[in-house]
A and B are shown apart, each in its own frame.
Chain A
Amino acid sequence: MFPILQLGPLALPAAPLSMVLSVWLGLSLTEKFARKRGLNADALYNLTFIALFSGILGARLFFAAQNFSAFVQTPLSLFSREAGSLDPFGGFASALVAALVYGRRAGLKFWSTLDGLTPLFAVAAVGLAVSRLASGAAFGMETSLPWGVELWGAVRHPTQVYEIGLALAILLGLGWWSSTDFLTDARIKADSGTDSNAEKPADGQLFLLFVALTAGAQLFVEGFRGDSMLLPGGIRAGQVVAWVVMAVVLLKAGWSTDFSRMRG
Chain B
Amino acid sequence: MDFRQYFRQNWGSLLVLSLALVWIWFSRAPEGATTGGQIPAPRAGFLAPAFSLSTLDGREIALDDLRGQVVLINIWATWCPPCRAEMPAMQKVYEDYHEQGFEILAVNSTVQDTFSQLDPFVEEYGLTFPIPLDRSGDVTRLYQVISLPTSFFVGKDGVIREVVVGGPMDEALLRTRIEKLLQEGR
Q: Are the C-beta atoms of A82 and B169 separated by less than 8 Å?
A: yes
In the assembled complex, the CB of B141 is this many whole angstroms from the nearest CB of chain A, namely 14
Number of interface residues of A (CB under 8 A): 50
Contact of B175 among A63, A70, A222, A225 (CB under 8 A): A70
A125: min CB distance to chain B, Å: 19
In the complex, A74 has a CB within 8 A of chain B: yes
Do residues B23 and A80 form an inter-chain contact, with CB atoms below 8 A?
Answer: no
Task: Tell whether A13 pairs with B165 under 8 Å between CB atoms, given A73-B172, A224-B27, A239-B27.
Answer: yes
A250 neighbours in B (Cβ, 8 Å):
10, 13, 16-17
A250 to B42, CA, bound (A): 41
| Closest chain A residue to B164, Cβ basis | A84
Contact, CB under 8 Å: B24 / A235: yes
Tell me how far the C-beta of A159 lies from the nearest C-beta in chain B, rounded to whole angstroms: 12
> Are B31 and A234 touching (Cβ within 8 A)?
yes
Cα–Cα distance between A235 and B170 once the two chains are bound (Å): 38
Which among A63, A69, A71, A234 has the highest number of chain B CB atoms within 10 Å? Answer: A234
Q: Tell me, yes or no, whether A145 is within 8 Å of chain B by CB.
A: no
- Report the bound CA distance from A226 to B32 in whole Å: 9
The contact string, 1 if C-beta is below 8 Å from chain A, for chain B 147-166, is 10000000000000010111
Interface residues of B in 11-34 (CB under 8 A from A): 11-13, 16-17, 20-21, 23-31, 33-34
**In this assembly, does A227 line the interface, its C-beta being within 8 Å of a C-beta of chain B?**
yes
Q: How far is the CB of B51 from chain A (nearest CB, A)?
A: 15
Expressed in whole angstroms, the Cα–Cα distance for A240 and B29 within the complex equals 13
The answer, yes or no, to whether B183 is at the interface (CB within 8 Å) is no
- Say whether B29 contacts A153, CB under 8 Å: no
B113 close to chain A: CB less than 8 A = no
Q: A154 and B39: CB pair below 8 A? A: yes
From A17-25, A106-114, A165-173, A251-259, the one touching the partner chain is A251-259
Contact B41 A153 (CB under 8 A): yes
Bound complex: CA A223 to CA B30 (Å): 11
Which chain B residue shows the least CB distance to A240? Answer: B24
- Closest A residue to B33 using CB positions: A141
A250 to B9: give the CA distance in the assembly, Å.
12
A136 to B146, CA, bound (A): 14
A8 at the interface (CB under 8 A from B): no
Given the contacts A3-B165, A141-B33, A216 and B16 also touching, CB distance less than 8 Å: yes
Interface size on B, residues (CB 8 A): 43
Residues of chain A with a CB closer than 8 A to B29's CB: 141, 228, 230, 234, 236
Does A9 make an interface contact (CB < 8 A)?
no
Question: Is A226 in contact with B34, judged by CB distance below 8 angstroms?
Answer: yes
A255 CA / B31 CA spacing, docked (Å): 39
The answer to the question of A176 belonging to the interface, with a C-beta cut-off of 8 Å to chain B, is no
Q: Tell me which of B27, B165, B166, B179 has the highest count of chain A C-beta atoms within 10 A of its own C-beta.
A: B27
Question: Taking the complex as formed, is A152 at the interface, i.e. its CB lies under 8 A from any CB of chain B?
Answer: yes
For B170, list chain A residues within 8 Å (CB).
Answer: 74, 76-77, 80, 82, 85
> Which B residues lie within 8 Å of A220 (CB)?
23
- Residues of chain B within 8 A (CB-CB) of A199 are none
Is B176's CB within 8 Å of the partner chain A?
A: yes
Residues of A within 8 A of B132 (CB): none
Which of B16, B27, B162 makes the CB contact (< 8 A) with A223?
Answer: B27
Between-chain CB contacts (< 8 Å), 10 pairs: A3-B147, A13-B147, A70-B172, A70-B176, A74-B175, A141-B33, A154-B39, A216-B20, A234-B30, A251-B17
Given contacts A235-B24, A240-B24, 9 further A-B contacts (CB under 8 A): A64-B172, A80-B170, A82-B173, A223-B24, A223-B27, A243-B21, A250-B13, A250-B17, A256-B13
Measured CB to CB, the residues of A under 8 A from B are 3-4, 11, 13, 63-64, 67, 69-71, 73-74, 76-77, 80, 82, 84-85, 136, 139, 141-142, 152-154, 216, 219-220, 222-228, 230, 233-236, 239-240, 243, 246-247, 250-251, 255-257
